Amino acid sequence: MAVLFQARPFPQLSSARTKSFRWWKWCYWPLTKSFYFRASCGSTKPQSTEKSPSLLSINLAKDAIMRKYTEKYGCGNKYAALASALVSLTWEKPLYSEFQQLEGESEYAAWTFVNGYALNHVTISTHRLKSNLKNIKSLNQFIEKNGFKLNYEGGVLKGSPDGLLLQSSTVADSIPFSFSDGINESVPCSYIEFAERLVLPQYKNQPESEIKESHRRDGFEVGNADKIFESISKEQLTRRA
C-alpha cells in the first residue's frame, strides 16, 4: 500500500529563487518495501531512485526485529503523512540494541527504524538557480566554504557516463534520539542532494534563453545512487570536514 506525499519548498531556499517542489513521490511501508524517495526541486518530470533494504539479505534475527514492529503497527501507514509532518513514528521507539543490530546489516533500514516516514532527502536542480551557484562545482565550493560537509563517497562530484548529469550531496544532519531503553544517541536524519542537468547535444546550439527542462539530460544515474545514499552512513557522518 502506498501513501502519496506532496513535497513543499524549504523557506531557506527562497533567497535562491528556487521553484517549489512540483512532484509527488510514492512512499511505501518502511522496512518491508521501497521507502526511499526524493522530491525534485524545479524539475518538470517526476524523478525516482529506488533503494530497498532486501529482507532476503537480512538474517532471521534482524528480520524478527523488523517484523516485531511492522506486524504490531501494520496500519501505521494510514497516518504516514501526518507522522512525517509531526516528525513522529507510527510505531513504538525501538531498543538501542535493536537499532545497532539493524545498522550492522543495513544502515538504511536502521535509518527508517528511527526516522519513520520522514523525508529522507530532497534534490535541488542547481541549473535552475539564478546565480553563479547554478554551476554545481561552484555550489559545492560555496557549501564547504560555509562549513557544511559534503558526501565524499565516490568523490564529491558524481557524474553520469555521458557526462550530462552531475550530482553531489551533503552529509546528513544528526539529531538526538531517545531509545525505549533510556539510551540517548545521535542518529542521522535528512540531507540535500544537488543535480546539474546539462543540455543534450542536439540542443547545445540553442540560445540559453530558449533552453527548456526537456532539453536537458533526464532521469537519475543508478550507478551514483548508492554513493548518494551514503550521505546517511556512519563513515560519512564521522569523517572530518
Task: Tell me the per-residue pLDDT of 192-204, one tens digit each, with 9 for 90 and over.
Answer: 999 999 999 999 9
pLDDT of residue 133: 94
Mean pLDDT of 198-217: 94
pLDDT of residue 187: 96
pLDDT of residue 140: 97
pLDDT of residue 28: 32
Return the axis-axis angle of helices 60-70 and 96-105, rounded to nearest 10°: 120
Mean pLDDT of the chain: 78
Q: How far apart are CA 64 and CA 132, in angstroms?
A: 51
pLDDT tens for residues 82-106?
Answer: 888 888 898 999 999 999 999 988 8
* pTM of full prediction above 0.85: no
Which range, 48-52, 72-76, 212-216, is most confident?
212-216
